[in-house]
Amino acid sequence: MIYFYCIAGLVLAAAWMSRVVDAAVGMPSIPDISGPAFDRTDVPQSRVSVIVPARNEEAHIEQTLTRLLNQDYANYEVIAINDRSTDDTGGVIDRVATSPAAAGRLMPIHISDLPLDWMGKAHAMWVAAQQATGEWLLFTDADIGFRSDCLRRAMAYAQQSKADHVVLFPTLQMHSVGERMMLAFFQILFVFGHRPWKVADPRTKDHMGIGAFNLIRRKVYETIGTHRELRFEVLDDMKLGKLVKEQGFAQRNILGKGLITLRWATNAMGVVRNLTKNFFALMHFRWPRALGACLLLGFLNWMPFLGIWLAPGWCRLAYALALLSMLLIYVGIWQYANISPLYFFLHPIATLLLIYTMMRSTFLTLWRGGVVWRGTFYPLAALRRGMV
């Protein structure tokens, strides 16, 4: 047993310390476009088509469209897609389209039927892209808050860096302890699974895509196959980034505090519910992978807290280094997301809830024989075939 504790401690210390060093070097290399360097009006204002798919979003869509129509970028259009909504989403879009601010700027599209072998959101974005007139396409969500200078700054960066695909990380609005606990933990998992500072390196496989802000050159979008390649992909936003990276185009991640805002969940269980659709998809819809992921999550995140008490003698030092590294990552998150490092002490609870989320996602998908998303059922066999 002594050997187990010592070897496990060394593995955990190495794993956590390597991520601290990697993140400490890499994160500062990600540009922050909220600074004065990108407050520019002297770059060519290429035309941008902002594409906003919406299904049952009557509570959010008016504010999102209003803010998008208030951008201080001259050459853009907004395409809002009412995707088979059963609430008043379509009516709200049409009312906003009649406002003076929307004149010549906002194009409403109403979709009443979903073709076979398409997921609703991917289909809505594909339909809009066919009617878009921009050299650039910005795919976003219906519940995102845009600051008025967001598009101008993002395009200044995109053209200065000669990027083909730009991902802007949203500023998360968190109003409860449960939200902060879960989203801090999720960001730590994100750092382990996807190194955002490596995305710009063509020698790596690290890629990125976020539903809140995927800005892509139209020519690149068409070259990678459009959303037809993602028509039955649950993780369509992330897999868009995968296609861009695999085909050798220039992909970039950027920060910009307050440029886009998102209230992603209302409490800890809201985070669990939001992730339930996606987590089993991350495991390629294979239950052995899901089980392995749960065991790995438990080992990486619980064992440092257990080993510091249970390991014998000097073996505890390795567990202490793992815990210190974990705490330093929380300090790093505090700098970017304003989540106190004290949430480190809730890390074991967050781990439990994430493991529960994985198990819940796996069980519900297998039990139902597919995924229910926004009121539409997608069968498991088709989801497996449609994975990118």
pLDDT digits (tens, 9 = 90+) for 55-80: 999 999 999 999 999 999 989 999 99
The reported pLDDT for the residue numbered 86 is 94
Going from the C-alpha of 375 to that of each of 3, 86, 221, 378, the distances in angstroms are 52, 10, 28, 10
How would you class 13 by CB atoms within 10 Å of its CB: exposed for 0-12, middle for 13-18, buried for 19 or more?
buried
pLDDT of residue 104: 87
What is the pLDDT averaged over residues 330-336?
85
Q: Residue 147 in contact with residue 70, Cβ under 8 Å?
A: no
Tokens of 369: 């024989």
Share of the chain above pLDDT 70, in %: 100
Give me the mean pLDDT over the 263-269 stretch. Answer: 86
Token code pair at residue 9: 């401690």
Token pair 């059922």: residue:
377
Tokens of 69: 């129509």
Chain-centroid distance, C-alpha 314: 41
User: Which residues, at least 6 apart from 273, have a Cβ–Cβ distance to it below 8 Å?
Assistant: 265
pTM for the whole structure: 0.93
* Distance of alpha carbon 349 from alpha carbon 345, whole angstroms: 9
Q: Does pLDDT of 193 surpass 80?
A: no
Delineate the domains of the chain, giving CATH numbers in brackets: 2-27+268-385 (no CATH), 31-170+210-262 (3.90.550.10)
pLDDT classification of 133: cutoffs 50, 70, 90: very high
Show the CA angle centred on residue 162, arms to residues 161 and 167, nearest 5°: 70
Tell me what pLDDT residue 191 has: 74
